[in-house]
Amino acid sequence: VRCNIVPGVGELFVMPTLTTGGRADILFWEGIPGGPLDVFRGVKDPSEHLALTLELMERFTPWEYARATKVELTDAGGTLAGRYAPTVRNPVGHLPGGGLVLGVADVVVANDPITGQGSNSASKCAAAYLAAIVEHGDRPFDEAWMRSAFDRYWKTAEPVTKWTNAMLAPPPEHVLQLLGAAGELQPIADRFANGFDDPADFENFFFDPEKASAYLASVASGA
């Protein structure tokens, strides 16, 4: 996957994929609402969608556009556009008949897909709820239990939300330094990659400039 960050505009992701017609690349623009990339509303024709995608690539990422001048759609259903607002909802719903329902996964914690955490988080939510069910035994599965089960899941979901929202914002200088160093030093690249499995670790070296600086210094010194 190649990520091209355009400050003040958004990102272009180029992602290899396998379709029913064979190997392909996904050209995925993710833009700031109201910005130069926010122009796909109402575009229904696939060829028009592709032309607009390429026009934006030529304007903002000409190095990627140069590789895609002869691109063709895999099929008529090969385009998609929409918008996604990150949201954390009340986990317990009250049904009209008086019953209660506990929300699961991205029904209650909906993060932007930029960090690819959707299926990871859904699996972790299912595991947390299963453990809460088994431990609860034969006691009533009331609203208090539902909220405690969600709180259990939130311990893993909160770091995901914090990291994902941080990745949506313009990267501060210390994050740019971290990412630059990751391109040169394997331990930093490995730790960043492993953060996709355990985003809680970003608290230790990613968000705070002083922690990031100390971590970079420790890796550079071999400590």
Residue 39 has phi, psi (to 5 degrees) of: -130, 15
DSSP label at residue 124: H
pLDDT digits (tens, 9 = 90+) for 177-213: 999 999 999 999 999 999 999 999 999 999 999 999 9
Distance CA 154, CA 176 (A): 28
Q: Which residues of 147-166 are buried (b: 16+ CB within 10 A; e: fewer)?
A: eebbebbbebbebbbbbbeb
pLDDT digits (tens, 9 = 90+) for 88-103: 999 999 999 999 999 9
- pTM, whole model, 2 decimals? 0.80
- CA 159, 174, 30 angle in degrees (round to 5)? 60
pLDDT digits (tens, 9 = 90+) for 140-164: 999 999 999 999 999 999 999 999 9
What domains are there in the chain, each with its CATH number?
A: 2-65 (3.30.9.40), 87-168 (3.50.50.60), 173-221 (no CATH)
Query: In the numeric block, which tokens belong to residue 117?
Result: 């955490």
